[in-house]
Structure 1
């Protein structure tokens, strides 16, 4: 019985040592990954980007334009694109009036 306890104790000590070694190895790997993925050393902040999505461009088009009421059901993609272009134009005008320089582009996702 005593030898069985001694063997189990040795196994537990060896297993504990193995787990400790695994923890040290994982810390090394994490440290290496963090060093590789470091944000630019110059301390520059990440770039902020504003995304705008018109939730129901067809409804906007129908509300704002008499011709869109006719076209919206037949050419929804074209009408949606026109709504975005108009929203972009109006935003640009408003921001120019307030002397805010912006770069705007329309992206398809």
Structure 2
């Protein structure tokens, strides 16, 4: 009976040792993968962007356009889109006058 307990203990010790070794191998592989991933982005600098949000486009439209005063309350989405297009045109003109090359687009979020 004692011999069976010793054999069982030796088998469990061997299995535990193997599992520990496998765990160390997995940790090593994970550490290497993370290091490779970090090396890919080490020299990467984020691109800078300028975002402009018109806080009250309906008010701007009403102030800048006589026809918008009539239409703005009935078609706010269309008027908002037109305000953004106009703002983009004006900023583009200013950048062109200053000879600054820009790429502009309207994004919906």
TM-score (norm 2): 0.66
The CA distance in 1 between the partners of 2:108 and 2:78, in whole Å, is 13
Structure 1, gaps ≥5 residues long: 1-20
Size of the aligned set, in residue pairs, is: 86
2:58 is aligned with 1:58: yes
The CA distance in 1 between the partners of 2:31 and 2:55, in whole Å, is 42
TM-score (norm 1): 0.66
Q: CA deviation at 1:32?
A: 3.3
Give runs of aligned pairs for residues 66-105 of structure 1, distance below 5 A.
Answer: 66-105=66-105
The aligned counterpart of 1:18 is none
Structure 2, gaps ≥5 residues long: 1-22
The aligned counterpart of 2:13 is none
Match of 1:39 among 33, 38, 41: 41
Following superposition, which runs of at least 4 residues in structure 1 exceed 6 angstroms of deviation?
none
Q: CA deviation at 1:46?
A: 2.0
RMSD over equivalenced CA pairs, Å: 2.4
The CA distance in 2 between the partners of 1:96 and 1:30, in whole Å, is 50
